[in-house]
Structure 1
């Protein structure tokens, strides 16, 4: 029990300092982001440039999978191309700048860079594939309220308010992840994890990718959990597959998507997330 408390307090303290400092810095920098120019790029004729703009927009707008949906509706209302909207939908939950920075400090920058590249490439590929296959016809004509565009100039008060807002929405999940990570570190024997999940069984990766979706473990929670699983001997491939699938799709998000997409597109979305997380897991498996 003492080992659990020591481990939890250390993980929680480390993550708290990182989270507050990084969130505040990013909130300050958001005052310099030209949102209007990015939006023009999203609607531009150059689809390649627009897709990169969607990735950038996903990166600078730290939303979880559920809060991404109102933004997607707003983008569809503004007649932004379906392929570009899909790129944003897949990229936004998995490319949170605060969490990526924490991932780099906790899990290493090599892992974080590979993760960022893989999720970005897959988001673009999936978005254009769904568009090419004509899935736009499965979008319902809906109107969703509750989304406000942020266009704030640089100021300290705004940065403090944004940091506090993120603290209320994301920080509890970070602490939950720290608690689970402490349990794994202090109470779960290393031998169990290395025996069942540490070997090179390829089938663990797709199983982890599928298991991640109903778990609804946010990316912020998965960072300390993943760190402890890896330290305990779990293979990196299944860990990253579960991390990507749990961040990229969740049961609450699927329910929300059902309100704006027909079932064909919802099924395609889930299959795409599982594919992205599975292939990503194999990349980490071989790397």
Structure 2
């Protein structure tokens, strides 16, 4: 049985490694062509629709986890960008990683990935503007975060290789952790048990999965191989996607960091918003 687990882990790990290196290198090369200054001007523009689209684009081209998003958010607030636009970026950045989304498309299928991208994009925009409309801007503390500098690198193969290596150091271990967990689930957890408990279309599994995902702090890179195995074992897609989005959108370390720049009421609202976004997303997959 453990030999099967090892074989499963090696297969998943090799597949993800090849995908990760190739995709992250190509994306790093493409980032040399991105006009960051123009995007920043759009973020500060008066046209909210264009600014929201720019925030989503900026979130997509900056491959950050939930914790490393915080310094960027502080920098955006320091530049006095509209609060709603900053919130859109905060919600979208961890869940719209270009490398991980591409891997998701290969592993989970492009239909699932497209729906995931569209749903998380729309919900990030709605929640961001809603928080602005409700006046949560007053709940931002005056914080200056040192040590953060924007990097605008030109098209350069060496820079792309360096960025790929840096990304591997920060993200790749979580891919391997996800592969290991997925292999254990694949080899040791009975298919019948997962399909009977989590495979049924019980609506209440979705909000539970959304709530459970946050304290787990399973990064999106780890959740993809785990989700693949859970779906193969018969787990319903709705709860899987709800847990995936909540674990990527918020985490205990991120909440602790947010407490340093947001007041208590905004931190609580942020966590509830992530749970809401995850739950709604799960129900959309449930209905589809």
Give the structure-1-normalised TM-score.
Answer: 1.00
In structure 1, the residue matched to 2:43 is: 42
| Cα distance, 1:104 vs structure 2 | 0.0
In structure 2, the residue matched to 1:106 is: 107
Mapped to 1, the partners of 2:127 and 2:175 lie a distance apart of 29
1:152-193, Cα deviation, whole Å (9 max, x unpaired): 000100000000000000000000000000001111110110
In structure 2, the residue matched to 1:92 is: 93
Mapped to 2, the partners of 1:5 and 1:188 lie a distance apart of 14
| Cα distance, 1:145 vs structure 2 | 1.5
Q: When the two structures are aligned, how many residues end up with a matched partner?
A: 287
SS at match of 2:260: helix
SS at match of 1:124: helix
1:189-210, Cα deviation, whole Å (9 max, x unpaired): 1011011100011100000000
In structure 1, the residue matched to 2:269 is: 268
Mapped to 2, the partners of 1:5 and 1:257 lie a distance apart of 39
4+ residue segments displaced more than 3 Å? none
Mapped to 2, the partners of 1:246 and 1:2 lie a distance apart of 30
Mapped to 2, the partners of 1:179 and 1:204 lie a distance apart of 24
Mapped to 1, the partners of 2:197 and 2:255 lie a distance apart of 30
Mapped to 1, the partners of 2:225 and 2:78 lie a distance apart of 38
In structure 2, the residue matched to 1:176 is: 177
Pair 1:163 & 2:150 matched: no
| Cα distance, 1:146 vs structure 2 | 2.5
SS at match of 1:93: coil
| Cα distance, 1:74 vs structure 2 | 0.1
In structure 2, the residue matched to 1:216 is: 217
Mapped to 2, the partners of 1:270 and 1:136 lie a distance apart of 16
Mapped to 2, the partners of 1:262 and 1:7 lie a distance apart of 45
Which consecutive unaligned segments of at least 5 residues does structure 1 have?
none
RMSD (Å) for aligned C-alpha atoms: 0.4
Which consecutive unaligned segments of at least 5 residues does structure 2 have?
none
In structure 1, the residue matched to 2:77 is: 76
Give the structure-2-normalised TM-score.
Answer: 0.99
| Cα distance, 1:15 vs structure 2 | 0.0
| Cα distance, 1:262 vs structure 2 | 0.2
Mapped to 2, the partners of 1:69 and 1:49 lie a distance apart of 23
SS at match of 2:147: coil
Pair 1:150 & 2:151 matched: yes
| Cα distance, 1:222 vs structure 2 | 0.2
Pair 1:185 & 2:186 matched: yes
1:10-60, Cα deviation, whole Å (9 max, x unpaired): 000000000000000000000000000000000001011000000000000
Mapped to 2, the partners of 1:158 and 1:10 lie a distance apart of 30
In structure 2, the residue matched to 1:121 is: 122
In structure 1, the residue matched to 2:5 is: 4
Mapped to 1, the partners of 2:163 and 2:43 lie a distance apart of 25
SS at match of 1:79: coil
1:65-114, Cα deviation, whole Å (9 max, x unpaired): 00000000000000100000000000000000000000000000000000
Mapped to 1, the partners of 2:151 and 2:112 lie a distance apart of 31
